[in-house]
Amino acid sequence: MHFFGNKNRLSFSPELQKLKISDAIGKTIVCEDNVPRRVVEIVYSYRWPWRVIINEKDPDSNNGHYCNMLSLSSQLLGKGVPDKEAQDAFSRTVRVRFNVGDEGVTRSHPLEKKHSGLVLPFK
């Protein structure tokens, strides 16, 4: 959709490179559980590098609601929610690229030091 990936390389479209995750604040975003939520706060998930966490301090959740980065960027660009197959393909590409196991990132990971263009810049 907006990314092109293989084992060695991820690249993003020019329109995607201009986005910041803070652009989501104040907007309604459909999370991974298919529930639309108004974004009050948004942070990166370092355990699952292809996700962000929305409204982490929401009293109705255990540590917020996950949103796939592909889904977030697609919604911010006004293109709707990508299908599950596209989101899974994006997640698999990120897992392979950053060698993330089934349990997620459980130790210090290069992604914590440098985002390598994988995630949208936060400003």
pLDDT for 94 equals 80
- Phi-psi bin for 4: left (phi > 0), alpha (psi -120 to 50), beta? beta
Half-sphere exposure of residue 17, counting CA atoms within 13 Å on the CB side? Answer: 7
Q: Which two tokens stand for residue 3?
A: 């990314």
pLDDT for 107 equals 53
In the block, tokens 């639309």 appear at: 36
Exposure string over 9-18, b if 16+ CB within 10 A, otherwise e: ebebeeebee
In the DSSP assignment, the letter for residue 7 is: S
Backbone angles phi, psi at 78, to 5 degrees: 80, 20
Nearest to 88 by CA among 71, 64, 105, 66: 71
The model's pLDDT over 54-80, given as tens digits with 9 standing for 90+, comes to 987 777 777 789 999 989 989 998 989
pLDDT for 72 equals 92
pLDDT for 15 equals 75
Question: Residues in the chain with pLDDT < 50?
Answer: 1-9, 108-123
pLDDT for 82 equals 92
pLDDT for 39 equals 93
Backbone angles phi, psi at 104, to 5 degrees: 85, -165
d(CA 46, CA 13) in angstroms, rounded, equals: 23
